[in-house]
Amino acid sequence: MAAAARTLRIGLIPGDGIGREVIPAGRRLLESLPSSLNLKFSFVDLDAGFDTFKRTGTALPDKTVEVLKKECDGALFGAVSSPTTKVAGYSSPIVALRKKLDLYANVRPVKTTAGSSGEPIDLVIVRENTEDLYVKEERTHDTPEGKVAEAIKRISERASSRIATMAGEIALRRQKIRDAAPVSTRSKPMVTITHKSNVLSQTDGLFRETARKALAAERFASVVKEEQIVDSMVYKIFRQPEYYDVIVAPNLYGDILSDGAAALVGSLGLVPSANVTDGFAIGEPCHGSAPDIEGKGIANPIATLRSVALMLEFLGEEAAAAKIYTAVDANLDEGKLLSPDLGGKASTEEVLNDVLKRL
């Protein structure tokens, strides 16, 4: 008798701007996976974002959090249009969600395809996702010389240790995959701890020391450990991106490094992420709501399609993830149906259909 299909319930949170154009593409991808994978999906539409805030007075309704916690196996998040000037009562829903669900790791692979020219890039940024300056404890006070604003940068042993452990585990998993390939591109896994403890000796110092200790565990004996100050890492990541394997970073450096690394592979529209905690993951493209192209139907859906794959990987569905990666890479390597950010003319829909055809 055939094994019963696994059914996964997926929360869909499009958010604002092009989030509303790429999340439906993610849903169609899940609905189009071959039946041989023995996977079924049910979906629940959930609200969050600036439009939700304007409509309801809250950017992250309690219902969204409750449904994710109680009903869902995983979720997809598009993007939100967080204003750059303070709006009373608004707070970034994705930042809040990461904390409320304790999605402590933000995993961001940046990779070229086999058909790309130049040295292959295959690195992953493992970004701490709950603290650092993202605790958002800011205040402003008046002084005789004018206003002064300050923010707390919180780094804890607990968060630094678990993110470094996650980075070590990802490094081991990646090496296992490389070793199984016909030609392995790297003989040993490597984790680079990034920090600025030359200046911030207490906060980034604690991150570096704690990450170092976590990676000293016996099970990471085969992992090469390195440390690098974040500014020189930016330089080296632009000069020699092929050098890196896994980078573990405090929250803000990880955010900035991942957008920078996206430039190396051609577009923000290509880079996925997964917000991860034990047994649960939210796939989220690294890009934002892209107001400059919103509503034009030309957003590149590939970051979202890869985020679907990454979510599935963290939910234990590696075979489904592999199918998606292969189909996306084939679309990119053929290069006939590319969206405008990659120099093509294809719409979101055309890119999606081309990927679906290749599944």
Ligand X SMILES: O=C(O)CC[C@H](C(=O)O)[C@@H](O)C(=O)O
* Residue 81 makes contact with ligand NAD by CB under 6 A: yes
Q: Are 332 and 117 in contact (CB under 8 A)?
A: no
Calpha distance 269→286 (Å, rounded): 8
Binds 52: which of ligand NAD, ligand X, none (CB < 5-8 Å by kind): none
Amino acid at 313: E
DSSP string, 9-32: EEEEEEESTTHHHHHHHHHHHHHT
Site for ligand NAD (CB under 6 A): which residue of 60, 126, 214, 293?
293
> Which stretch, 67-75, 111-119, 182-190, 295-303, contacts ligand NAD (CB under 6 A)?
295-303
Calpha distance 79→15 (Å, rounded): 5
* Cβ at position 285, least distance to ligand X in Å: 9
Q: Are 70 and 6 in contact (CB under 8 A)?
A: no
* Residue 175 makes contact with ligand NAD by CB under 6 A: no
CA distances from 47 to 75, 141, 148, 212, 310 (A): 12, 35, 36, 39, 22
Site for ligand NAD (CB under 6 A): which residue of 47, 128, 284, 313?
284
Q: Which position's Cβ is nearest ligand X?
A: 92
Per DSSP (E only), the strands in 197-330 are 224-229, 246-249, 274-277, 280-283
Site for ligand X (CB under 6 A): which residue of 52, 58, 64, 92?
92
Nearest to 83 by CA among 51, 131, 47, 106: 51
Q: Are 275 and 281 in contact (CB under 8 A)?
A: yes
Binds 255: which of ligand NAD, ligand X, none (CB < 5-8 Å by kind): ligand X
DSSP string, 248-272: EE-HHHHHHHHHHHHHHTT-GGG--
* Residue 354 makes contact with ligand X by CB under 6 A: no
* Residue 167 makes contact with ligand NAD by CB under 6 A: no
* Residue 95 makes contact with ligand X by CB under 6 A: yes
CA dihedral 186, 259, 23, 350 (to 10 degrees): -80
* Cβ at position 309, least distance to ligand X in Å: 18
Q: Are 10 and 41 in contact (CB under 8 A)?
A: yes
* Residue 311 makes contact with ligand NAD by CB under 6 A: no
Site for ligand NAD (CB under 6 A): which residue of 23, 46, 268, 327?
268
How many other CB atoms are there within 10 angstroms of residue 1's CB atom? 3
* Residue 80 makes contact with ligand NAD by CB under 6 A: yes
* Residue 13 makes contact with ligand NAD by CB under 6 A: no
Query: Scanning residues 14 to 53, which ones bind ligand X (CB under 6 A)?
Result: none
Pairing of strands 105-111, 122-128: antiparallel
* Cβ at position 92, least distance to ligand NAD in Å: 7
Kindly tell me which of 50 and 220 has the beta carbon lying closer to ligand X: 50
> Which stretch, 151-159, 170-178, 194-202, 286-294, contacts ligand NAD (CB under 6 A)?
286-294
Phi, psi of 207 (to 5 degrees): -60, -50
* Residue 341 makes contact with ligand NAD by CB under 6 A: yes
* Residue 132 makes contact with ligand NAD by CB under 6 A: no
* Residue 47 makes contact with ligand NAD by CB under 6 A: no
Q: Determine the size of the site formed for ligand X (CB under 6 A).
A: 7
Binding positions for ligand NAD, rule: CB under 6 A: 15, 18, 79-82, 94, 268-269, 284, 287-293, 299-300, 303, 339, 341
The residues binding ligand X (CB under 6 A) are 80, 82, 92, 94-95, 255, 286
